Amino acid sequence: MFDDIPVEVGLVHAGERIRKNDMYVEMGGPEIKEKFELVKVRSLDVVQDDAITVIGPDISDMEPGKKYPLGILIEIAGAQLEEDIEGVIERRIHEYANYLEGFMHLNQRYDIWVRLSRKAYNKGFTTLAYFGRVLMRLLKNELPIIERMQITFFTDPEKIPAVYAEARHAYEARDARARGLTDGDVDLFYGCALCQSFAPSHVCVITPQRYANCGAISWFDGRAAARIDPKGPIFPIEKGDCLDTVRGEYTGINESAKKRSLGQVSRVYLYSAFTYPHTSCGCFEGIAFYIPEVEGFGIVMRGYRNVTVNGLPFSTMADSTAGGRQVDGFHGISLEYMRSPKFIAADGGYERIVWMPADLKEQLREFIPGDLIEKIATEKDVTTISDLVTFLTKASHPVIARWKPEEAGTVKDALGASPVFSAGEFPFQAGGFKIILKNARIYADKVTIVPIKPKRPGRGE
Ligand code: SF4
């Protein structure tokens, strides 16, 4: 596509994964605390068009196999540009970065993870300026209202903290703006099909009270994107009639889902993780996972490195959740959706949450009803389902009211013999058939765990 870029650039490379053994260097990722990508609209006089700067070691200065911090600051200017567009352009970084052969970009905002393959490096991809040049050309081509653009890459750990703080402040300001609106206040919702290259049946429905799964696009961002780029992947959705105010079902959303998923998804509940939950692509910031033994939900975020209370890590549950499917009880969510009063409201909202990592609980403290804070367990309180049952019972968690007598018996049994595996949906293959166990609880006399070398680095691995 571009003669002056040493690797191929095109949609064909979207979805390419770079395994640890094939990578030349990694930037950002789970082991780097401060990393970000940020787009800011500035005035025309402060943006030097086409300028690309690398502050810190460039790729050619990096040691092969090592991990480096990364900050990407894109500053744009144009008479018609508004701040509302910042979040939308920021999300395009993920899409366009993945057009590069031998270049992998995962996640968004403060969670980015980039890998460059050895093959791409050997082809001459020795500077981040190539990445910058591709971003500039594709973004300007898509949005001609961008008159000037400059990009700064930060790889110097000493220089990142100040810009990282600016980025966190900008994300919070964007998110807070949308918090004043309710879904009933607006006539239009917005849909985003940007992730269909990874998950063909997935469309995010973005409403004031249900933020996009990736946590990067608010209702305001959706409105700005649909206005500026009417043929782009973000589009308006007429609400139509409200069929169910509690679950959040609208005729307009159902029609749009059916059309955009080519018939694979025909009904969507905005505020429930059951029956017709919102689909999950693979970019979700976290997962609300059903724990059948206690009739409640645990929550795990992408960066959480340990196993959760059900014995599974984020990466395993992400595989069960992603792909644009509607999976009962495995629900991809954003951090901002957890701040919404509509957060799985039809399933009980926070009265249904029984476990989450301690640092997430701190982050959400002001959004969790005060009487529930101490009733939600963290990894510091419990590490197994049987401990969780004891914790919830002692804390008089409201979820206990859902334990019917016959289920209470099951829970009691679980205290003596905890399931070694439980899941909302557990698929496996045997004898040429794919078998799916719903709400599975598996007990065993002995468990043998044999590490399997992953074929590719999945999201969050
Ligand atoms: S997660 Fe949803 S909103 Fe975010 S880029 Fe993908 S489809 Fe769009």
Please indicate, yes or no, if residue 42 is contained in any of the structural domains. Answer: yes
**444 and 296 fall within a common domain:** yes
Is the confidence at residue 381, as pLDDT, over 80? yes
Residue 88 C-alpha to ligand 1 middle, in angstroms?
10
For the stretch 205-215, pLDDT in tens is 999 999 999 99
Residue 92 C-alpha to ligand 1 middle, in angstroms?
10
More confident: 240 or 413: 240
Final residue of a domain: which of 156, 178, 200?
178
For the stretch 58-81, pLDDT in tens is 999 999 999 999 999 999 999 999
Please indicate, yes or no, if residue 6 is contained in any of the structural domains. Answer: no
- Whole-angstrom distance, CA of residue 414 vs CA of residue 161: 47
**Over pLDDT 90: what percentage of the chain?**
75
State which ligand 1 atom lies nearest to the alpha carbon of 94: 5
Ligand 1 pocket check: which of 90, 214, 261, 335 to mutate, most ligand atoms within 8 Å of Cβ? 214
- Whole-angstrom distance, CA of residue 344 vs CA of residue 359: 21
Determine the pLDDT at residue 440: 57
Residue 82 belongs to a domain with what CATH number?
3.30.1650.10
Which amino acid would we find at residue 229? D
**259 and 303 fall within a common domain:** no
Residue 205 belongs to a domain with what CATH number?
3.40.970.20
Is the confidence at residue 200, as pLDDT, over 70? yes
**305 and 444 fall within a common domain:** yes
Please indicate, yes or no, if residue 274 is contained in any of the structural domains. Answer: no
**163 and 197 fall within a common domain:** no
Q: Which domain holds residue 121?
A: 11-178
**185 and 142 fall within a common domain:** no
State which ligand 1 atom lies nearest to the alpha carbon of 206: 3
- Whole-angstrom distance, CA of residue 266 vs CA of residue 144: 36
Which amino acid would we find at residue 8? E
**241 and 305 fall within a common domain:** no
Which amino acid would we find at residue 456? R
**Over pLDDT 70: what percentage of the chain?**
88
- Whole-angstrom distance, CA of residue 368 vs CA of residue 365: 6
Please indicate, yes or no, if residue 365 is contained in any of the structural domains. Answer: yes
- Whole-angstrom distance, CA of residue 349 vs CA of residue 342: 7
Please indicate, yes or no, if residue 327 is contained in any of the structural domains. Answer: no
**90 and 200 fall within a common domain:** no
Residue 440 belongs to a domain with what CATH number?
3.40.1470.10
Q: Where are the beta strands (DSSP E) in 56-186?
A: 67-68, 71-77, 103-106, 113-117, 148-154
Please indicate, yes or no, if residue 193 is contained in any of the structural domains. Answer: yes
Residue 70 near residue 115 (C-beta atoms within 8 A): no
- Whole-angstrom distance, CA of residue 441 vs CA of residue 393: 21
Residue nearest to atom 6 of ligand 1 (CA): 195
Pocket lining for ligand 1, CB < 6 angstroms: 91, 192, 194-195, 204, 212-214, 216-217, 281, 283
Hey, what are 156's tokens? Answer: 């110097």
**353 and 426 fall within a common domain:** yes
Final residue of a domain: which of 127, 149, 178?
178
- Whole-angstrom distance, CA of residue 194 vs CA of residue 10: 15
Ligand 1 pocket check: which of 37, 109, 171, 194 to mutate, most ligand atoms within 8 Å of Cβ? 194
**173 and 183 fall within a common domain:** no
Please indicate, yes or no, if residue 211 is contained in any of the structural domains. Answer: yes
State which ligand 1 atom lies nearest to the alpha carbon of 216: 4
For the chain, what is the domain count?
3
- Whole-angstrom distance, CA of residue 316 vs CA of residue 429: 17
